[in-house]
Amino acid sequence: MSEMEQIEIARYRKEINQDLLHMIGKYSRIMGWEVPELDEQVARTMILQVIKESLAETEAEKSI
């Protein structure tokens, strides 16, 4: 990775992290509507696991 690419990705790191937190919150709210007695910590753990699995699938496809 060139120095310019490293600078660019560093600029996006905070945005990417915020986007992930937003996505986790979004799906936590959706699960809360559908599961009234939802354990929020368990839901977040499950959502994070799905994100990790999706990321691994995306990396395996090598389409990016």
Residue 36 confidence (pLDDT): 85
For residue 48, CA distances in Å to 27, 34, 60 come to 10, 18, 18
What secondary structure letter does DSSP report for 63?
-
Residue 25 confidence (pLDDT): 94
- Regarding pTM above 0.85, the answer is no
Give the count of domains, the chain.
1
Structural domain range at position 7 = 3-61
Residue 63 confidence (pLDDT): 62
**Residues in Cβ contact with 20 at an 8 Å cutoff, skipping those fewer than 6 apart:** 51
Residue 53 confidence (pLDDT): 96
On whether the CB atoms of residues 38 and 31 are closer than 8 A, the answer is yes
Q: Amino acid letter at 29? A: R
Q: For residue range 9-25, what is the model confidence (pLDDT) as tens digits?
A: 998 999 999 999 999 99
Q: Mean pLDDT over residues 41-64, rounded? A: 90
Under the banding of pLDDT at 50, 70 and 90, the label for residue 62 is confident
